[in-house]
Structure 1
Amino acid sequence: MATLEIKDLNVSVATESGPKPILNGVDLTIRSGETHAIMGPNGSGKSTLAYSIAGHPKYEVTGGSVTLDGQDLLSMSVDERARAGLFLAMQYPVEVPGVSVANFLRTAKTAVDGEAPKIRTWVRDVNAALERVQLDNTFSQRSVNEGFSGGEKKRHEIAQLELLNPAFAVLDETDSGLDIDALRVVSDGVNRFTGQGDRGLLLITHYTRILRYITPDFVHVFVRGRIAEQGGPELAERLEAEGYDRYALKGADA
């Protein structure tokens, strides 16, 4: 059983007025086979957590640790973290003009596995992955995320997830901007990934609508840069009904 363990993680971001603390002692353990959902208000640090785990240079880790099967992720470069088994689906995927989806996917697979996939089987695998997220074969010839709709960007990330097949996936608001049909396609892809039984998932979201299709084992409420409360799927339903005001009213110092 693989384990992604975050202990007392503190993170700051550089601003014009100096470093600004965002994460204030995050503790979270995700084991293979588990789906964890993080919910919280805007500005609570959810995306900062995702990018810090993945190694975004904008964020400075000022304390704590992140390990994957005992390996220190924080000492690794971004590509080393990916090879160790970590995957991040970004809230706002970046456009890469001039780089086709096909070349991007094959380059990523080669970097993660340490060897290039065989062309014949790889083309078949890519076409099958795109078909499962309802993207046609011509999609692979388009430049990465250039001119993509919101739904195309998110479905492309799910195709990446399937093809790279990491040990742990962090999905940052994958449901953002999706209509109901695209939401179902994306959710089906996530469920195929977790359905392998030995993959871990951290799903960051504002709303419960994606949790109607992807059932989490654990739900964590993120407030002011740390986990303020945790529970099972029923916690998400309570948040939908009550919102986050109760944490502010309680004076949570998270």
Structure 2
Amino acid sequence: MDNKLLKINNLKTRVGDTEILKGLNLEIGKGEIHAIMGPNGAGKSTLVNTIMGHPKYSISDGEMLFEGESLNNLKVDERAKKGIFMSFQYPEEIPGITVENFLRTAKTAVTGKNIGILAFRRALKEKLKLLKIDESYAQRYLNVGFSGGEKKKNEILQMAVLEPKLAMLDETDSGLDVDAVRIVSEGVSKLRNSNNSILIITHHNSILEYLTPDYIHILVNGKIVKTGDASLADEIEKNGYDQFKALV
């Protein structure tokens, strides 16, 4: 039985006339944590946006297979229903919509099943407890007045409620202090299981100190040029990306 959740073959992605991903290959197995690292402009955010189906990014070549089925022509909501989730680098504020209402609506949309308010509230309380988030948080308006750390915790809460097969975290550690990075990392660790996979996009290895990936991929100029274990992050911390730029 094939354990691969996501297979990407020779992916080329454009924004307008500019090619950003230039023949990228990646495989993610079930139960694995992968981290993508690389210099600014390498194509890290482009990769996760392309997997999620953002209309700004057009595929000019290659294929993305999720559980053996092509994603290439699926809309964003169709990918979400298949179990793909993406956290945002800069989450939006939505006045008038509580965290609880937003999450219940999202869960209904992804599963196609209407969930009763009381049943959902019980399930949400369990997730809040698991992630050590105060219950009052659920009644606040979505991201309104939230600190950077609270916004990121809310993204992890969404992940907990939606229970995706593939969770992509784009710069989740960006702008967070050490305590917030630790809390977010612990939350992700608790949600990991043998049937889901996590893809982390990060510039630096602060989150990787708490969340040890199975694989680290170095992305340079639209291609993955090196794959290794968690020790790769230490190598980057010491020597930067110059050594990898020569591999393109």
1:144 to 136, 142, 145: 142
The DSSP-based 3-state class of the residue aligned with 2:145 is coil
The DSSP-based 3-state class of the residue aligned with 2:231 is helix
Give CA deviations for 1:49-102 in whole Å, capped at 9, x if unaligned.
Answer: 011110111111111111111111121111110111111111111222322211
Q: Using a 3 Å threshold, how does the CA distance of structure 1 residues 23 and 52 change in structure 2: closer, same or farther?
A: same
Tell me the TM-score normalized by structure 1: 0.92
In structure 2, what residue type is equivalent to 1:115? K
Give CA deviations for 1:144-175 in whole Å, capped at 9, x if unaligned.
Answer: 22222110110000011111111111111111
* Residue pairs, 1:152-231, within 5 angstroms: 152-194=150-192, 196-231=193-228
Aligned to 1:7: 9
Any runs of at least 4 consecutive aligned residues in structure 1 with deviations exceeding 4 A, and if so which? Answer: none
Aligned to 2:71: 73
Give CA deviations for 1:179-207 in whole Å, capped at 9, x if unaligned.
Answer: 1111111111111122x222111111111
* Offset of residue 2 of structure 1: 5.0
Contact 1:130 1:156 in 2 (8 A): no
The DSSP-based 3-state class of the residue aligned with 1:221 is strand
Aligned to 2:51: 53
* Residue pairs, 1:115-154, within 5 angstroms: 115-154=113-152
* Residue pairs, 1:88-103, within 5 angstroms: 88-103=86-101
The DSSP-based 3-state class of the residue aligned with 1:197 is coil
Contact 1:6 1:29 in 2 (8 A): yes
Contact 2:149 2:176 in 1 (8 A): yes
Contact 2:53 2:75 in 1 (8 A): yes
Aligned length: 246
The DSSP-based 3-state class of the residue aligned with 2:72 is helix
Distance 2:211 2:148 in 1: 20
Contact 2:4 2:27 in 1 (8 A): no
Tell me the TM-score normalized by structure 2: 0.94
Q: Which range is displaced more, 155-164 or 196-205? A: 196-205
* Offset of residue 108 of structure 1: 0.6
Q: Which range is displaced more, 176-185 or 133-142? A: 133-142
List gaps (5 residues or longer) in structure 2.
Answer: none
Distance 1:209 1:156 in 2: 19
Aligned to 1:110: 108
Distance 2:43 2:209 in 1: 24
Contact 1:175 1:205 in 2 (8 A): yes
Aligned to 1:32: 30
Distance 1:72 1:93 in 2: 28
In structure 1, what residue type is equivalent to 2:214? D
Distance 1:2 1:237 in 2: 27
Contact 1:89 1:170 in 2 (8 A): yes
1:63 aligns with 2:65: no
Aligned to 1:236: 233
